[in-house]
Amino acid sequence: QAKRTGTGSIVWYDSVMDGTRLQRLALERDLVEAVEAETFELVYQPQARLSDGTWTGAEALLRWHHPERGFVSPAEFIPVAEEMGVIHELGAWVLRTACRDAQAWPASAKVAVNVSPIQLVAGDLVAAVRAALEGSGLDPRRLELEITESAFVGEDKRLAGTFSELLAMGVTFALDDFGTGYSSLGYLHRFPISKIKIDRSFVADLPGSRPSEAVLRSVVALADGLGLRVIAEGVETLAQAEWLRDMGCEEVQGYLYSRPLDRLRAVQTLSAGSFDPIGSRNDAHRRR
Ligand code: C2E
Ligand code: MG
Ligand code: MG
Ligand code: MG
């Protein structure tokens, strides 16, 4: 940001602001159009169990190939979709598509779908989930909703109601990016969460960073004590995987195992069954 020390810098500052605002307006317009035209794509990143080398399922990740700007990261457009309210429509499309695609996977494989706190708090998530399950015929126990800690900020009765309705359907919940947000542990037993996803920022420091190692150790102990499953995201190296396995982390997701795959390659990979979780045969899944 320019300091208001001279006329020149004020002009520069203003024109940058205008440019940003124009870009933002264009992004908003394109996003609404894309939601209407359904020009998004879902890719699926497999999740693996370390103990026996089987795929447990995959996380659905949203992709937007913008006609002019090319690939736009969900980290960039999800916040815009949230602010504009189109997240409800977009989120419903993600749920429908993910449930339909997962029908082609082995019956043991779950599909994890990211849900925005806005959908959870303000929208008709229950209706969107029900429609996606009914439309696809997917067993509700195979749908896992990934929510972040920020969903619990200012929690109210309605939130508890939404959770219990979804739980009654058979849907499960994973807490995403654990350790990066709202740091209260109370909601872990107040809400029906069955899985904790350790944020990849902790995994990236492995092995050798004492603070991250301490956090990972405590999260695994906490999950164990509460009877929750635990998965580490962003596993990129063998050394990280070995450290996680030795520490008792059951599940992993990351580039070491597989990049996010398009719909057809996801079916192929998940249907291929087991792999050597920490060993040479992993090479087939690496660096895609
Ligand atoms: P997330 O749910 O924490 O997803 C994990 C992100 O880490 C994904 O980025 C994934 O591609 C990336 N990743 C996976 N393995 C590795 C690894 O080994 N190393 C590194 N460096 N990165 C890895 P992506 O696809 O760009 O998604 C970013 C975020 O966008 C997601 O974070 C999620 O919060 C949000 N998002 C994605 N799809 C959806 C969606 O359908 N709905 C909503 N509401 N949010 C979504
Ligand atoms: Mg996620
Ligand atoms: Mg995550
Ligand atoms: Mg994340």
- Give the model confidence (pLDDT) of 65-108 as tens digits: 888 888 888 998 999 999 988 999 999 999 999 999 999 999 99
pLDDT at 134: 98
Give the contacts of 53 (CB within 8 A, at least 6 positions apart). 274, 275, 276, 277
Atom of ligand 1 nearest to the CA of 73: 26
The residue whose CA is least distant from atom 19 of ligand 1 is: 234
Confidence of residue 4 (pLDDT cuts 50, 70, 90): very low
Confidence of residue 277 (pLDDT cuts 50, 70, 90): low
Q: Which of 83, 120, 121, 233 for a ligand 1 pocket mutation test, highest count of atoms within 8 Å of Cβ?
A: 233
Residue 282 pLDDT level (bands cut at 50, 70, 90): very low
Q: How far apart are CA 280 and CA 288, in angstroms?
A: 16
Q: List the residue whose alpha carbon is closest to atom 42 of ligand 1.
A: 114
Q: How many CB atoms lie within 10 A of CB 82?
A: 18
Q: From ligand 1's centre to the CA of 6, what distance in Å?
A: 42
**How many of the other CB atoms lie within 10 Å of CB of 78?**
19
Q: Is the pLDDT of residue 8 over 50?
A: no
Ligand located closest to 47 CA: 1
Q: How confident is the model at residue 170 (pLDDT cuts 50, 70, 90)?
A: very high
How would residue 14 be classed by pLDDT, with cut points 50, 70 and 90?
low
Report the pLDDT averaged over residues 268-281: 74
Instruction: Tell me: ipTM over 0.90.
Output: yes
pTM: 0.89
CB 29, CB 19: distance < 8 Å:
no
Say whether pLDDT at 11 is over 50: no
Q: Is the pLDDT of residue 7 over 90?
A: no
Q: What is the mean pLDDT of the chain?
A: 87
Residue 66, pLDDT score: 85
pLDDT at 156 over 90: no
**Closest ligand, as measured to the CA of 82:** 1
Nearest residue (by CA) to ligand 1, atom 9, is: 61
Q: How far apart are CA 180 and CA 149, in angstroms?
A: 8
- pLDDT tens for each residue of 128-152: 999 999 999 999 999 999 999 888 8
Pairing type for strands 40-49 and 54-66 reads antiparallel
Candidates 287, 267, 239, 280; CA nearest to 55 is: 267
The reply to whether ligand 1 has any atom less than 6 angstroms from the CB of 90 is no
Q: Is 258 in the pocket of ligand 1 (CB under 6 A)?
A: no
Confidence of residue 16 (pLDDT cuts 50, 70, 90): low
pLDDT of res. 185: 77
Least confident segment among 36-40, 72-76, 97-101, 282-286? 282-286
Q: How far is the CA of 267 from the centre of ligand 2 (A)?
A: 19
Cα of 180 to ligand 2 centre, how many Å? Answer: 13
Q: Is the confidence at residue 181, as pLDDT, over 90?
A: no
Does the Cβ of 78 fall within 6 Å of ligand 1? yes
Q: What's the pLDDT score for residue 22? A: 84
Q: What average pLDDT does this structure show over 176-195? A: 82
Q: Express as a percent the part of the chain with pLDDT over 70.
A: 88
